[in-house]
Amino acid sequence: MIFRPPPSRRAPRASGLPRLTAGGFTLLELLLATAIGAIVLLVINTTFFAALRLHNATHEKIDTDLVLQRTLGIIRKDLAGIMLPPNAQSTTAKLSGQLVSDSYSSNDLDGNSERVTPDIFTNSGKMDGWTPFAEAQMVSYYLSPAPDGGATKNLVRVVTRNLLPVTEGTTLDQTLLTGVSTAAISFYDGENWVETWDSITSITLPSAIKFSLVLAPRENATTRNDPGPIELVVPVIVATLTTAQQAAAAATTIQ
């Protein structure tokens, strides 16, 4: 019997072919891959934070505009609902009053605040099952120093709902808008805008009332903020007898 060794499991290597060895990335390839990865991460980081800043600025602008539109809506409602001043024979003299910008009632805020408007008797009061008073109320607007001691001011609305109090009446102070720089009111007499009005002397109401305010730039704003003046013009629909007579005389003169 002839013994033969088992064949080898390793295939014979052809002569003349190079030996294959296990290899990896070279140092140059690693440096190149690292540089490309860093550039991609830098682009992603820049894009992400730019989108985040845009998101924050947009939401900040929306929130500011919502508060401003709500404030202008309240002011528009107060001015549009202005009531006729009473005469000497009026039985509702206590439910309405004169529009006088030089003298005020006791509807005050405090000694540190700047009054913006005279006392305005208006029918803008809310009537519901929880409010014990009618729609007639007296409102006035002030610029009050900011509680944090900053350079900006707050626009405050002072409301007196009970115009027929048995005892001393109480007022409600409402902070409508913060970050206000200046605020003012003016009256249209049919030809020009004037800064003062006295319905006792003129026996009339103005044809329109303009409320203007300027917002202070925000120090921590994410975008450059250069606010301009905001003006709200509200026509006065009600007319006194003197106003109606003046309008009729003007119409006759034009004809």
CA pair distance 156, 140, nearest whole angstrom: 8
Q: Which of 20-24, 28-32, 182-186, 198-202 has the least mean pLDDT?
A: 20-24
Per-residue pLDDT band for 193 (boundaries 50, 70, 90) equals very high
Residue 45 lies in a domain: no
Per-residue pLDDT band for 192 (boundaries 50, 70, 90) equals very high
Most confident listed range (116-125, 226-235, 243-252): 116-125
Beta bridge partners of 160: 138
CA 106 to chain centre: 29
Residue 125 lies in a domain: yes
pLDDT at position 62: 87
Does residue 220 carry a pLDDT above 70? Answer: no
pLDDT at position 14: 52
Handedness of CA 35, 40, 42, 45 (dihedral sign): negative
CA pair distance 125, 129, nearest whole angstrom: 13
Handedness of CA 78, 79, 81, 82 (dihedral sign): positive
Percent of the chain with pLDDT over 90: 31
pLDDT at position 78: 94
| Mean pLDDT score of the chain | 81
Residue from 191, 208, 211, 207 nearest 242 by CA: 207
Q: pLDDT digit string (tens) for 85-102?
A: 887 555 556 678 888 888
Residue 38 lies in a domain: no
Residue 135 lies in a domain: yes
Residues 165 and 64: beta-carbon distance below 8 Å: no
Does residue 72 carry a pLDDT above 80? Answer: yes
Q: Is 20 helix (H, G, I), strand (E, B) or coil?
A: coil
- Look up the domain containing 85 and give its range: 58-254
Q: Which DSSP letter does residue 62 get? A: H
More confident residue, 10 or 109: 109
Q: Is 134 helix (H, G, I), strand (E, B) or coil?
A: coil
Most confident listed range (56-70, 121-135, 223-237): 56-70
Beta bridge partners of 122: 82, 137
Q: pLDDT digit string (tens) for 42-61?
A: 999 888 888 888 888 888 88
Q: Where are the alpha helices (DSSP H) in 81-178?
A: none
**How many domains is the chain partitioned into structurally?**
1
Residue 14 lies in a domain: no
Containing 111, the helix (H) or strand (E) segment is: none
